[in-house]
Structure 1
Amino acid sequence: LLSVSSFFSAKKVVPFKLLDIGEGIQDVTVKEWFVKSGDQVKQFDDICEVQSDKASVTITNRYDGLIKTLHYKIDNVALVGSTLLDFEIEDNSTDVVRNDAGETAKSTENQTIDNSEKSERRSDKVESENITLKEEKVLSTPAVKRIAKENNIKLTDVKATDKNGRVLKEDILAHLQKISADPRVKVTIPHFIYSDECNVDQVMRYRNDVKDSLMERGISLILMTFFIKAASRALQQYP
């Protein structure tokens, strides 16, 4: 019989807390998640984007491990110091397991290699998904995102002029002007109409009585003359 010692790393769950992001900010709104439960992530991967009344911040990862639980949904408010999500990471402590059968040790070794290959394939898949998420993410300011949301515009459709690929306020305003000028795009503009009615029969009779004599003197008596006179009288009583 052959004795073989195998070392297995234990797992532990740790909370990922929202750290102080400065400027006296006490709470933020979760605007976008770049990960989901069950994802295998690495340090410095983008986790989520949060927004305060002063800035929009991308939270990056501090661990290598598996995401267990997301504690907030999109547009939920998170307080500084609260737990955003839970991570399952490798524990530093190790346990020694003794096997007295050589075949069992060989089987364990093969299983470890197989699990390692599966883990690498899963990591490659997760990394590919993270790259896709990053490609779809558009850098912009909270003001630009508000304009896009109010006008139902996808930021991916807006041409960014910033050297870092960030969509500026000028970019989205230019995009709005462009689609407004397109006759194929229906732009709904709210209108406000006020109307009032009054009886001007006496005014019309008086005008008909005097307009001929005034025309002989080269004067054209129009209704606007009476309206201006009425408005001036009203302003004298109600200045």
Structure 2
Amino acid sequence: MRQFRLAQTGEGIKECELVQWFVKEGDEVEEFGRVCEVQSDKATIEISSPYAGVVRRLHHKPGDVVQVGEVLADIHTGEEEEAPAAAAAGAAAGARAPQPAGGAAAPSFAAAGVQPSYSSSDEQLGEGKVLTSPAVRHLARQYGINLRQVPATGPGGRVLKGDVLAYIEGMQGAGTAAAGRPSAAAAEQAAASMLAAAGAAAAPLAAAAPPLAPAAAAAAAGEESLEPVVVQLRGYRKAMAMVRHMTASAAIPHFHFCDEVQMDALLELRQRLRADPSLPPGTKLTFLPFFIKAAGLALREWPFLNASLSPDQGSVLCHRHVNVGVAMATPHGLVVPNIKDVQNKTVLEIAAELARLQDAATANHLSQADISGGTFTISNIGTIGGTYATPLVNPPEVAIMAVGRMQRLPRFAEDGLTVVPSSIMSMSLGADHRVVDGAALAGFATAWRQYVESPGRLLLHLR
């Protein structure tokens, strides 16, 4: 019997949330075959088995937080016979106590000291690969709902909590809801509490439930509750990971630089390119690929912004490759994947890679390689209506850029007398003052702005 433990999934990662099992107890698994999917504060990763054999026991269920080094599963490899005691313990683990009348209670086990095991069939309820969160799966299980039947309104076909609640309302309106199930209003409150304890064993709500808390009582009575809802931070929003990262950023002595960029030439060029019949079908040619390419070229001219400070702060590592990270807001929180070697990529190649990363981030399927190795970051706050920002450096990087929304504003023409309408975009830079001085940051900003304002200059650096 081999114990399959959670290995280190990335630098500094100490724990992961178990998202789903791809196997159940009794399944045969091949060496390097996929076993489960886990999510750290940085990425979602599929874990493969180092052994070939039969899965004897799954030690955790989806939604559990597993520490690095903890046992995920027991796998019988056939190299040695199981001890009779181990077999007896496995049989005892499957013996469930009778259910009390009036409602299904959380399962208990006949053998004292034997921890419950969980199979993927317990968690999936036939919904297969439906994209949703563990808390929403928990809610669906309480009502016996197959998530495949729930119309999804979230990004990428993700089933949201509101989708399940709306489905429950429809069932109750049609008179098909199971007898004794709580109302949708009570389900809303139950879902909120489940978010605070998504890893706990399910305890279905029934008529004999304990007295409701004030907030739950108000919800059940159809009244709006003003009580705060506690939501446990998980995944990308994992509390301690965010605290560590923001603490590291706050310790950096920042300084900032802001400027505005004339966008008329790039706006005209993009319109012509988007109308070009030779543009590959499905290409999303936004401004961001041009910004990323311009950053790649400008960073080659100002290498101290494409650098990392050593842990002892005694040296600076100037990177030869330019890996530009792009801050993305997803249903799972903020994530910063990066595009590798943008200095050698065309604008079209950058656009294609950007689309791939956006799709992977939305589906919560970014790999460790996607989110590691960044050397510079761009945050496009203009997509949410922002103009200026004071962005914080993403350590160990030493510089970051935020681009704002484009506005049509009056500006003087080159003669200095005529006022003309211009497309203006704001740009904000933040840097680590231990590595970057004001002259270098201003020099980089000027180089980047010139590439954007005169996009024809990008042609001079094609490879």
TM-score (norm 1): 0.39
TM-score (norm 2): 0.23
Q: Which has the higher helix share?
A: 1
- Quick one: higher RCO (CA 8 Å, sep 6+), 1 or 2? 1
Q: Which one has the largest radius of gyration?
A: 1
